[in-house]
Structures are given as C-alpha cells and as structure tokens.
Structure 1
Amino acid sequence: MLLSLIVLLLGISHVTSLYRLRGKSLAEDTKDALSLLTFNVHVFNRFKWIDSEEIPKDISEFIKKENPDIFCVQEFYNNPNIDFKQYPYKYDYFHHRSQELALVIFSKYPFVKKGSLNFENTANNVIFADVVTPTDTVRVYNVHLQSHGISSKTDDLTKADSQKLLKRIQTSFKKQQSQTEQLIAHLKSSPYRNIVMGDFNNTAYSYIYDKIKSEDLQDTFKEAGRGFGKTFNFELFPARIDFILVPDDAEVISFKSYDVELSDHYPISSKISL
C-alpha cells in the first residue's frame, strides 16, 4: 500500500502531460491575443492515404475558418489546390533533396529575419522567423524533428521485424537528440522571446521535449488544454507529439486540438497574450 502511494505521488506531476480535465474558456480572450496554429499536413494527401480528392481544399478551408495569426506547416507540398492567400508573409524552406517537401511559416505580421538550421543527412529540419507582432517581436520556430518511419497501424507493427524496428527507433532517437541540441543552442542565441511549434515526433515524456521546454517555455496544452490533446493518428493510444510552446511569462488564453481527418496528424492551436 505504501509502495503504491509513493508511485502515485511520483507520477502525479506527469498526469497533465497525458490528460487534462478542463481547459480555459474562450470567453477569457483578450483583444491583444496572438493566435497560433501548427499542422503536419502529410503532403496534402498526395499519395491518397485518405480516400478523398478534396484534402488540399478542405485544409485550405479549415485554415480560413480558424484564421490564426501565425500558421506553421510541416510536410508542405506545392499543391495547386491549396489557398493560403490571406497571409501576406510567408517563409518556406525546401530542405528535402527532392526540393518537394518544405517547412513553412505563414504570418499576418512582417518578418525581421528568417533562417534554417539545416540538419544534415535528413529530410527533417527546423526553420525560424522573427515576427513583428502588434505587441512584441518574437522568434517563431517551426520544428519537424527526426521521423521514426514506422507505421501507425497495429497490424503493420505486429508484422514488422522487431529487431529492425528497434534499431530504426534507436537511430532516430539519436538523431532527435543531436537535432535538439542544435535547436537549444539556437534558442539560447535568440535576441527575442521564443515560440516553438511543430512536430517533435516524440511525446511529452521524452528527453527532447523536456530539454526544449526547459528553455523558459511552457506547454500551452498543459496550461489551457482539455482531454488527451491527441495530435497523431496512432491506433494504440492517443499520441501527443505536436506541441505549441510559448514563453513562460506569456499568458495562455486557450488551447484547442481538432478531431479532423485531414492528415495522419491533427492540427492544434493556441491563443496567447505576450
């Protein structure tokens, strides 16, 4: 009984990483709120994983409806049916050797500076832009850390060679650690407060999440989210691998995760006051 109590006490601080009973009301919104949204669009369903021809159009309509001030996209692909013309400022960086896959930052506010971390020997990457918002200039990072390259479906995982699967995950974890160290060094050199958004390809219990968040950042889901906040369509459990991390001294007004079948990821958004 005593051992069980100790275990519960040790683990209770991590419960909010997995599930939150209540969020914040949108009624708490303020006029100077900055709205943020991140979405791994999975190349706009280019290879027809979802049985629909309308995914690019549907994602465009979804973004128009939500209308975030800053919108970060991972696995962007130049599809003729997408429309994000409401954003006058855009930074896209095609790091993939095929020059087809990009990270993009869309913004309603101008950029002072922008750039890429240029990870080596991978299609994954991090880009950044210094955004002049009405209340402050902030550095926004769009993150897509090393992918594991494994299926999200249970049947595929049970058929996979366990040794090969383990070796692949070990390799990707090592790359994630190296990429995180590069990102943290860049965060430390930033002249502005930082906002980090995107696909970490790892959970809120991971080493990389903990290291990034420790750079004076807070997790908007933990502050204002509700439920599991799942961001990835994984059959075994509600996986939260996409994050919006904002400065510790910012007020998190709201957080929302969207249960929309437009990608293998689910978009998430947050409103903050700087």
Structure 2
Amino acid sequence: MRNLSWFGKLIFVINSLFATILLLSYLQPYISPILFPQFSILSLAVPGLIIINLLFLIYWLIKLKRQFFLSTIVLIIGFQFLNSFYRISEKKVLLNDDLKIMSYNVRLFNIYKWKKEGKEETVKLVSDFIYEKDPDVICFQEFLSAYNVDFNYKYKFIKKNPNKSISYFGQAIYSKYKIINEGSLNFKSNANNAIFVDIIKDKDTIRVYNVHLESQKLKLNEENFGEKDSEKLLIRFQNNFKQQAQQAEQLVEHESNCKYKTIICGDFNNTAFSWVYHKIKGTKNDAFVEAGKGFGKSYDFYLPARIDFILADKEFEINNFKTYDINYSDHFPIMARLGTKKQL
C-alpha cells in the first residue's frame, strides 16, 4: 500500500470489499435460506462479483502491482464456482441413440405482449424452432395450458395451475417416448410447481422432472428502489428464498423414492451458486458444466445469469449442451444430449 497513490489506495479498498463479499458468497451452498434468508441474496450477485474481481485483477496487472494477488487468490479459492460460471470448450459427441431433452420457460407465449409479437406469432416461432431442433422430450415452464397451444408429439402431460385465477397457465412435458406415469408435487406457491413423467426409452425407464421454483418477481423497469421500497424488496427476496428452499427439499424427498434414473430440468429462479441449486443437484451432473460452452446465459438480463438447468444422474453420459439465443421469451431454451455410459 505504501507505493500506491491516494487513488490507488482507494481502488484497493474497494477491491478488498468486493473480494471479501465474493469470498463470503462461497459459503452459500452450505447455509439454508430457511435459516439465513438474508445471506441467500448474494447468490444473485455472484456473477457480477466474479466479473468485478476479474476486472480488478486485470487493472492491477496492467499497473504491474502486486495487489493483483488479492482477487487472484479469491478467484482460485472459488475455482469450482468459476467452473459453473464459464466453460471454454463445448463437448460434441452426437450419437443417434442420444436422448435429446430441452427445457424452456416460454413466458406464456407472450400473451401480454412483452414483445412486439402476438401470441399466435410467438407460438409459431417456438413451434418452428422446436421442429428444427427436434428434441425427444421438452419441459415447458409458464406454459399456456388454457389455449390451443400444441406441438406434434405423441405423448404429453400438461398440469394447469390449481389456482383458478391463474389456471390458464402451468407446466407441460412433451415426449416422443411413451409416458407410463405422471404426477405433480403441488407446491404451496400460487404460481410455481414441479411435475414429472416416467418414460420408456428402449427397455429403460427414466423419470423426468420439470421444475419451476418460486419466482423473484423482479421487474427492473417498474421497481422503485427508494429506501422503503428497497426494504420491501429485500423482505420479498428473503421470503422467496425460503419458499425455494422448501420446494427444493420437497423435490429431493420425492425423488429419493424413485427407483428409476432421473433427469431434473427447469427454471430454478436462482443461480448455480445458490443453496437450492446444490440441494437439487446432489450427486447429479450439470449438463452445462459437463458439455457446454461460454456463460450458458439462460435469462435475458444484463449479467450472464444462468438460472435454467438440466441435471442428470451419473448413469447418463452428457454428450452435448447448448443454449439457444432466440428472443421469443425472457428465457433462452437449453438442450442436452444424453447417452448411457454402458453404451459408450
């Protein structure tokens, strides 16, 4: 610090603050939001904290100052977080027998015209996209269940929201493979839920979960970030994180009674740095981490937010993962190609 100017010292103090916050955020997977919901808010900030610390690292390197060690050490300590944040190369193993599974929050096919296209045009765009990519199984969140929205799949399970005021939407799973069982976990939340199907592929039975955890309901263009409103926003976040934790525990308990191999898809409304992600993931493999490329950004936000996931049991070999940059919703569709290890 002695060799720094007053401006350099100020920069290093700010650097130290952001490095400390990032270091503390590494504890999130081990602290349940039910016990400490305030701490869970950091999970949404981790992508930004990583980028900020990388910028500080570059700044000190350009200045040829040893202060670059601070952010370097903190980033190295959180290497597993960086592994979930950015992938350098994509795995491309494309086998004919792969199970191609997609997850897509379609935001009600734009019935409220968040974008310029109407419902019919958006449905057509999504339908054409699905026809082109040809997934074997699709998990839809925020699916428009009360309207004539359909795709050319032999099997499907659509679960409307039980709340009558919003029963026009829910979740859906479409499959080329026969569905022999289906069900719903019926979260207590008014708008969110998890559903599942058991499908038969060749002689194998596979359970697919379609999860939509509690939403943060953050509208950046409409939120008032004054003192009182910011306090209300923090309280809302805390309550939402608690609900997410309860939903994650309900899902994990339900899955523990399943005798089949499982795949969990969906919109977690939280990042890969959160407690709920690690709770649901357990020993599963994250398809993006295993076979993706880049940031894997799945939500249309300023930062590279990855809140949509495909998690597969270790019996599956994850051969490929893609995030598709199409602007038909506020989420981007993701798709993984899964094989079985015994076939490889």
Same fold at TM > 0.5: yes
Q: Contact 2:298 / 2:307 at 8 angstroms: preserved in 1?
A: yes
Q: Which residue of 1 aligns with 2:81?
A: 14
Q: Which residue of 2 aligns with 1:35?
A: 100
Matching residue within 197, 206, 210 for 1:142: 210
C-alpha displacement of 1:16:
1.7
Aligned amino acid, residue 109 of structure 2: F
C-alpha displacement of 1:73:
0.3
Q: Contact 2:262 / 2:313 at 8 angstroms: preserved in 1?
A: yes
Matching residue within 240, 264, 269 for 2:306: 240
Q: Which residue of 2 aligns with 1:68?
A: 135
Q: Which residue of 2 aligns with 1:249?
A: 315
Aligned amino acid, residue 88 of structure 2: L
C-alpha displacement of 1:178:
0.5
C-alpha displacement of 1:14:
1.3
Q: Which residue of 1 aligns with 2:124?
A: 57
1:44 is the counterpart of 2:112: no
Q: 1:81 to 1:50 in 2, by over 3 A?
A: farther
Matching residue within 197, 209, 222 for 2:277: 209
Aligned equivalents of 2:148 and 2:295: distance in 1? 32
- Larger Rg: 1 or 2? 2
Greater share of residues in strand: 1
Matching residue within 74, 84, 90 for 2:151: 84
Aligned equivalents of 1:81 and 1:257: distance in 2? 27
Q: Contact 1:56 / 1:79 at 8 angstroms: preserved in 2?
A: no
Matching residue within 186, 191, 195 for 2:254: 186
Q: Contact 1:204 / 1:210 at 8 angstroms: preserved in 2?
A: yes
C-alpha displacement of 1:96:
4.1
SS in 1 for 2:273: coil
**Identity of matched residues, %:** 44
Structure 1 stretch displaced more, 71-80 or 12-21: 71-80
Q: Which runs of 4+ in 1 moved over 3 A?
A: 1-6, 78-83, 155-160
Number of residue pairs aligned between Structure 1 and Structure 2: 267
Q: 1:157 to 1:80 in 2, by over 3 A?
A: closer
Aligned equivalents of 2:146 and 2:72: distance in 1? 54
Q: Which residue of 1 aligns with 2:33?
A: none
> For residues 143-178 of structure 1, what are the alpha-carbon distances to aligned partners after superposition, in whole Å with 9 as ceiling and x for unaligned?
000011111x3x444646211110111010000000
1:24 is the counterpart of 2:91: yes
Q: Contact 2:105 / 2:333 at 8 angstroms: preserved in 1?
A: yes
Unaligned runs of 5+ in 2: 1-65
Q: Contact 1:94 / 1:103 at 8 angstroms: preserved in 2?
A: yes
Q: Contact 1:113 / 1:129 at 8 angstroms: preserved in 2?
A: yes
C-alpha displacement of 1:75:
0.5
Q: Which residue of 1 aligns with 2:244?
A: 176
Aligned equivalents of 2:305 and 2:168: distance in 1? 27
SS in 1 for 2:78: helix
C-alpha displacement of 1:238:
1.2
Q: Which residue of 1 aligns with 2:27?
A: none
C-alpha displacement of 1:266:
0.5
Q: Contact 2:157 / 2:172 at 8 angstroms: preserved in 1?
A: yes
Structure with more contact order per residue of length (Cα contacts < 8 Å, sep ≥ 6): 1
1:271 is the counterpart of 2:337: yes
Aligned equivalents of 1:232 and 1:111: distance in 2? 30
Greater share of residues in helix: 2
> For residues 68-106 of structure 1, what are the alpha-carbon distances to aligned partners after superposition, in whole Å with 9 as ceiling and x for unaligned?
000000001147564402x10000111241321111010
Unaligned runs of 5+ in 1: none
Structure 1 stretch displaced more, 4-13 or 126-135: 4-13
CA RMSD of aligned residues (A): 1.6
